[in-house]
Chains A and B, each alone.
Chain A
Amino acid sequence: MRALRAAPGLTLALMLGPVAAGLIGTLAPALGVFPALGGTRLSLAPFAALAAWPGLGRAVFLSLFTGVAATLISLGIVTLFAAGWQGTRAMAGIERALAPLLAVPHAAAAFGLAFLIAPSGWIARALSPWATGWTRPADLLIVQDPWGLAMVAGLVIKEVPFVLLMLLAALPQARPGPRLRIARALGYGRVTGWLKAVFPAVYAQIRLPVYAVLAYSMSVVDVAIILGPNTPPPLAVQVVRWMSDPDLSLRFQAAAGAVVQLALVAIALAGWRLGEIAIGTLGRRWAEGGARRHGEGAARGAGLALAGLAAGAVVAGLAGLGLWSVAGLWGFPEALPDTVSLKSWARHGPALIAPARETLLIAGAATALALALVLACLEAEHRFGLTPGARSLWLLYLPLVVPQVAFLPGVQTLALMGGADMGRGAVILGHLVFVLPYVFLTLAAPWRAWDARHATVAAALGAGPGRVFWAVRMPMLLAPALGAMAVGLAVSVGQYLPTLLIGAGRVQTLTTEAVALASGGDRRLIGLTALAQTGASVVGFALALAVPRIVWRRRRGLCGA
């Protein structure tokens, strides 16, 4: 009982301890303190050096622009799609496709998209030379364009499934069915009615995940390197570059950049909040204005088309990479490779077995720990009637909102100081910091939405809290619990920087392998590792889908949910 009561505190400590410690470890060099490099005195010189970097203004702009644009567009697509298609078969179809889409790692999706849209990419190949007249790729700046539009697209195709997942999880609490029926009975169109009657309630639920998307998009590194501009790159990329520069004195400047990145995220979040308030005011006026229909058909069509496009881009990109993994020579403008063979798989496949095992082991352990902690927290909340305040929810989001580059190098130093051996165990704890919030976010809504009167009835039937938990609540919430597990596994599988920094490079997962191999730009290898990575995270989603269906195949009350 006492252990359960301590669960929320322990969970927060495990999650926030590293973040706080890491931030201190970043702030110190940003202020000139880094004894191993001879910095022992507080100074603002690192910030001065940062300010003197000519690309700063542009890098800051790119961070803000790509982050805000990717978030706005993702949210827009999801909203439009949900408004037009909630409760329809199209929605159910996309819902089924969500899991595999979420399982595709960001970097893999970015490489896939790059191969689709580049002038030498699949789309150009399909249209050449008969439609375009190109016998060789045109010299067009599509990927790595200076505005970061390709990067925004790469982020959007991965964030749309995530936001949609969060929205679907939050939807039942907004009671969309009755609300929409009432709105339509009052003469509102489907889309307008949904936006006016359902969206405000749903948005209140998904606000924090949207903030996480914003913070992530602003400070993403891997997608930015693949699709983003490089002259200069967004700030986070430049910070990582300085951190791995042979000129060690640039570490100070890197730390200052990381602090600025953190501040940027804070500013963007504040701006977003102001935007929410403004849109809320305008939206109320709009809702009270009484307009019944706003281009319903066009809005529905656009919602479906955009959501389909986002999903299609991920799938087609991955298909392209898969094809590359078995391709012989595949020159432009051939739409398909001349020859197909398993040579690459035979050559590199065996080397992926050990990292695959390591990946699953770490992901499994981190997710199991996270799930146990989250369940303990939620159960403590239920039993002791702890009502989590808005503040503790914010704390939960901190590891997702604080840019990784701003605290991971500090975590590494701290782990070394604490004598933590840089083995698998430390990496699992490192992953836990990122897996926990996602598991909590995915599970909390359905867990709390569970009708607690079931617990009262069970108690009235003589069941103690333990029996209520194991014999009633867990089985009824098996599907969401497995769903949260799948999300946790996918998050762990995708971790690059934490694995690299905390594992000292000795812990090799599919993702560290994929990033190292991808630096060589060989599409066959990238395709192969991307498929392996996707495969690793699909395992969880497949289990999450299949297990409840098999276990509850005779229980209509649970299969539909």
Chain B
Amino acid sequence: MRAIPRLIATLALCSATPAVANPDPADWPAVLDEARGQTVYWNAWGGASATNDFIRWAGDVVKDRYGVNVVHVKLADTGDAVSRVLAEKTAGKDTGGAIDLIWINGANFAAMKKNGLLFGPWAEDLPNWTYVDVEGKPAVTADFTVPTEGLEAPWAMAQVVFYYDTARLPEPPPSMSALLDWAARDPGRFTFPQPPDFLGATFMKQALYGMIADPTVLQSPVDEVDYDAVTAPLWAFMDALTPHLWRQGRAYPQTGPRQLQLMADGEIDLAISFSPGEASAAIANGQLPDTVRSYVMEGGTIGNASFVAIPYNATAKAGAMVLADFLLSPEAQARAQDPVVLGYGTVLALDSLPPEDRARFDALELGIATLSPEALGPTLPEPHPSWMTRIEADWSARYGVAD
């Protein structure tokens, strides 16, 4: 049991400031200098080929231009990276950590921020930050309402859309109540990724938006509002819907992309996605038939941003910043928005861009299943992360242990 005093000693160490000098993003030439030759271990979810290909491309460019090697550490779950940083902190490894950059948002960011596991602020000093649409896209500085405070840099916008197969479902339900009616009529053709997968919780948050009179309560932490009263209609809705879900709600796909396979197999007709371009990209690489289309429900859908953050003990902080800055560049942003590549929304304000960079975006063609920005309609802000956590926990207690 000698480990325990050791652990306690570690705690004392954790509060001390690391002795190693950190790169200063305000002095960008120095950052570029330091970054040259570094290897950046970018921990990012590896479950989608499209994002994997994009990350490989970004790594190649950054290597070419700035001499920074990028290694994509493919995660099955972003929580694995958070666990790793936590384990390093537990062990007192305050420098030379294994992770340099994490693709992150929402509750994972909130947890890392709260536990002091992040390096920064640095994001707002990046050269390409000037193009970021801070005013038009409030989600880029408020990650699920939690102020980012320069601890993470946005690199993609996401918005809830649904996709459906027109060959089997010509008229998709325009609202949550219509979805319930349809599911009751034609049961077993809709499902969502099982919470704690973020997409499952997002489906419920989206449903909740349509059921409450004053959506601003969602911006406060759950313990500051009457949670039970606010969510009562949601649980009534879920009680009604669950028996009509795929497999009567007794089994769920474990991640968002698994829905692609279910739809391709003809098991489901309608699915939720956080990426407006996902269906088009899937059609392009043969994962979905070309009869699939996207749409949004009435009243707007939840939108958020994807970020990259640097752990407090990262080894290649300068290299990580260079990579993050490149992800913010018009070149990378335009490529990410190309539906054939990723179909992610840009975080930049297009009108602030120089004309030649604007042209990159104007040249993009939407995929057959991608909605135009107008058709996507208004975005609703993400609720405070505590909603996600609480709704997930409640869902698990109600339906996740039902058998």
Contact, chains A and B (beta carbon distance below 8 A): yes
Enumerate chain A interface residues (CB-CB to B < 8 A): 21, 24-25, 28, 33-37, 40, 53-55, 58-59, 118-120, 136-137, 139-141, 143-146, 225, 229-232, 241, 243-248, 251, 328-332, 343, 347-348, 351, 409, 412-414, 416-417, 422, 500, 504-506, 508, 512-513, 515-525
CB within 8 Å for A506 and B73 given contacts A24-B1, A141-B247: yes
Q: How far is the CB of A342 from chain B (nearest CB, A)?
A: 13
In the assembled complex, which residues on chain B have CB atoms less than 8 Å from the CB atom of A251?
86
Additional A-B contact list (9), CB under 8 Å, known A36-B10, A521-B260: A25-B3, A53-B401, A137-B265, A139-B188, A231-B403, A332-B266, A417-B92, A505-B81, A508-B73
A216–B220 CA distance with the chains assembled, in angstroms: 45
Cβ contacts B72-114/A at 8 Å (1 or 0 each): 0111111111111011111111000011000000111011000
Partner of A519, one of B254, B400, B403: B254
Cβ contacts B36-56/A at 8 Å (1 or 0 each): 000001010111110011001
Partner of B289, one of A119, A245, A331, A513: A331
9 A-B contacts (beta carbon < 8 Å)? A34-B7, A243-B83, A347-B49, A414-B3, A417-B91, A505-B98, A506-B98, A516-B76, A521-B253
Instruction: Check A351 against B47 for contact (C-beta < 8 Å).
Output: no
Instruction: Check B401 against A246 for contact (C-beta < 8 Å).
Output: no
Interface centre among A348, A413, A519 (most CB of B within 10 A): A519
Instruction: Check B403 against A520 for contact (C-beta < 8 Å).
Output: no
A229–B401 CA distance with the chains assembled, in angstroms: 10
Partner of A247, one of B111, B247, B254, B403: B111
Instruction: Check A331 against B11 for contact (C-beta < 8 Å).
Output: no
In the assembled complex, which residues on chain A have CB atoms less than 8 Å from the CB atom of B10?
35-36, 417
CB within 8 Å for A139 and B246 given contacts A120-B266, A231-B251, A231-B252: yes
B67 at the interface (CB under 8 A from A): no
Instruction: Check A244 against B74 for contact (C-beta < 8 Å).
Output: no
Count, chain B residues at interface, CB 8 A: 85
Instruction: Check B73 against A144 for contact (C-beta < 8 Å).
Output: no
Instruction: Check B99 against A512 for contact (C-beta < 8 Å).
Output: no
Q: How far is the CB of B81 from chain A (nearest CB, A)?
A: 7
Instruction: Check A246 against B286 for contact (C-beta < 8 Å).
Output: no
Interface centre among B255, B260, B267, B397 (most CB of A within 10 A): B267
Q: How far is the CB of A108 from chain B (nearest CB, A)?
A: 15
The 9 closest A-B pairs by CB, nearest first: A244-B79, A520-B47, A55-B401, A521-B258, A504-B98, A139-B188, A416-B91, A516-B46, A35-B11
Q: Which residue of B lies closest to A36 (CB)?
A: B90
A518–B255 CA distance with the chains assembled, in angstroms: 10
Q: How far is the CB of B254 from chain A (nearest CB, A)?
A: 6
A233–B196 CA distance with the chains assembled, in angstroms: 13
Instruction: Check B247 against A136 for contact (C-beta < 8 Å).
Output: no
Instruction: Check B77 against A244 for contact (C-beta < 8 Å).
Output: yes
A419–B322 CA distance with the chains assembled, in angstroms: 29
Partner of A146, one of B49, B88, B389, B403: B403
Instruction: Check B87 against A413 for contact (C-beta < 8 Å).
Output: yes
